[in-house]
Structure formats: C-alpha cells, structure tokens
Amino acid sequence: MTAQVAFLFPGQGSQAVGMGVDAYEQSAAAKHVFAAFDAALDFPLSQLCFHGPEDTLRSTINAQPAIVAVSLAYLAAFQEALSPQASSWSFPLIPSYTAGHSVGECAALVVAGALDLSGIAYLVRERGRLMHEEEVACSGGMVAVIGLDEQTLQEICQEATIQAKEALETSPAKHPGLGTVVVANYNAPGQIVLSGEQSALTIASDMAKARGARKVLPLSVSGAFHSPVMVPAVEPLAHSIAQANLRNATTPIISNITAGPLVNAAELRKELAEQIATSVQWTHTIEYLQSVGVTTFFEIGPGKALAGMIKRIVKGVTILNVGSMHEVEQAVNQVRNLELLS
C-alpha cells in the first residue's frame, strides 16, 4: 500500500452510450462486475450502458447505477491488469483514500470494503429511483457557472430564492424545494454548480450572467440534485440504507458533505442519505487529500470531469484516468513506473 494514492469516481452527467463495452469484452473481472449488477437489479443494465438508447440511459434511475457499474468495471479491469493471477475482485493496488463525486461516492463504498457489488447495485438503484421521484414532483435542474466566486454565487442564490418565492407565492408545505436555488457543487475555483427549482434557477442564471459570469451552462441531468428539492427523498433513502449490509470502511472515504474522512458505518449511512440534498464540497475534498500527502489521483470511470477539476484545485500532482481499456494499459504502466505497488 502507498500513502500517496487516492481513487476517485465520477458522478451523474458522465454517462454516455457505449461506456464500458471494451472492458466487458476484454476483461473477465469487468464482466463479473456487470454480471453482478445485472443479476442484482434483475434487468440488463450492461446492455443499456453499451447500446442505449441515450434517453433511457440518461434517466436518473438508470444513469446512477450505470455510472457506478462502469466505474467499478474499469477498476476491476485495472486491478486485473496489474495482477492477472489475482482473484476476480481483489485490489493489488490499495489506495490510502477514496472519494466519489455525488453518486460516485457509492463506488467508493465498494473500494473501501463497506459494501459488496450486489449491495451497492441495489442501493444506487434506490437512490436513483427516489431522486427521480423528486424530479417529477418538483421540476428543476442544475447549471455550471464559470468565472464567479463562491460568495457572489451564494448571494445570488439567496436573492434569486427570495424573488422566486415571492413570484410563486408558495409555502414550504407544498414542496420544500419550490422557489429555491442553492450552490450544489463546489467543484473547483471559478467552477461552481447551482441547483434548484426551475423558476429560481432561471433567475439565478440570469443574475450570474449580469454579474460577469463567463459561462452559465446547463448540465446533462434531469433534476435539482444537492438542493432542497431532494429533501423529501432523504428519509426513504435512509430507510433503504439501513437495510443494507453496510460495514465499517477499511479505507477512509472522503465525505462529500464535510470533505473529511469517514470509516464508521453509522457515519457512512448518515452521509449517504443526507448528501443528496447537501452541497458537494469537491474543492475541499481535493485540498484535504493533498494536505495528507496524496500525490497520485486516479479518476476511475467514464469521462474526465474530475481530472479537469483537480488541475484547477491543486498543482504538482499526478492525475491518471481509467475510463477505457487503453487508459487501463496506460495507468498500469504508470503504476509500475512510479513504483506504487509494494
């Protein structure tokens, strides 16, 4: 084990039709992951990842388990390539820390030994289902704002929420997310995501443009994640988490909510339930990992969004992507060049 490695997993929006198919075709360990998810969910999630259709894959109830399955499949393929003689689900390279961006935290649970494949398949599907229900109950979305600081955007959210609630003349009893917008993801300096009910989000987006944002970009998600819109899903998700055989983690998981390490099962249960309606502290997560000596970051799963964020947050670190079999090969070579295996 090395004290310099962190495994990171991407969140919703990273999905794409065709993801994971090369791992399925070339890696027995990856195929095992897809088979475990298909069996646990009792439907061919793998085929949805490989062939779509895109609209079905993008739906929250499908996108969340799909992203986690593909991330874990590439992890399995990577570990298998490091040690072909190892068992189908083992870790020749053990990270000192792991973390996931939003739903990516579910993949981190498996790496940390807190939950097995079938357990996480069921749990992430429930997470997606419950969050999808709130999407339907209260229309909303998310936008990435480039070029404004945290304080300015927090002020914009407060002002936009006041204006939206006055216009809607709504009471919290109808839905806690009505007329609200908040900072959802502190992704990197100058790259912050807002989330909320649609009328409030529109007002906040217009305000951000007026105050000098370089870009305001709608995200490829269908709901207002990490905002009060998701509050009604927290309790039923906590109930589902309570039924899962979740154990203490053997590798610290960095919390989305606090950006601090978690290993205790009770704390992990609380984190998993509450984070769907709470801001993701990704900037502080990467800063914390650097402060405890992590110098090599692996982004494992579809896309390269996390790598881009890390480059904006810290300097002088190594960032490796593991989101295709070509990248698996490259990462294996880098592991050996950097002498990361004990």
User: Active-site residue 227, yes or no?
Assistant: no
What's the start-to-end Cα distance of the chain, in Å?
A: 6
**In sequence order, which ranges of the chain are alpha helices (DSSP H)?**
21-26, 28-41, 45-51, 54-58, 60-82, 104-111, 117-137, 150-168, 198-210, 231-243, 265-274, 282-291, 305-313, 325-337
Question: What amino acid occupies position 121?
Answer: A
Q: Which of 102, 199, 227, 279 is catalytic?
A: 102
User: Active-site residue 226, yes or no?
Assistant: yes
Report d(CA 125, CA 92) in Å as an integer.
28
Full strand arrangement of the beta sheet holding 140-146: 181-188, 191-197, 140-146, 215-218
Angle at 68 between CA 64 and CA 69, to 5 degrees: 115
Q: Which of 100, 125, 127 is nearest to 255 (CA)?
A: 100
Q: Which of 205, 226, 227, 279 is catalytic?
A: 226
Q: Are 110 and 253 in contact (CB under 8 A)?
A: no
SS3 143: strand
Total residue length of the chain? 342
Helix (H) or strand (E) holding 253: strand 253-254
Active-site amino acid positions: 102, 226
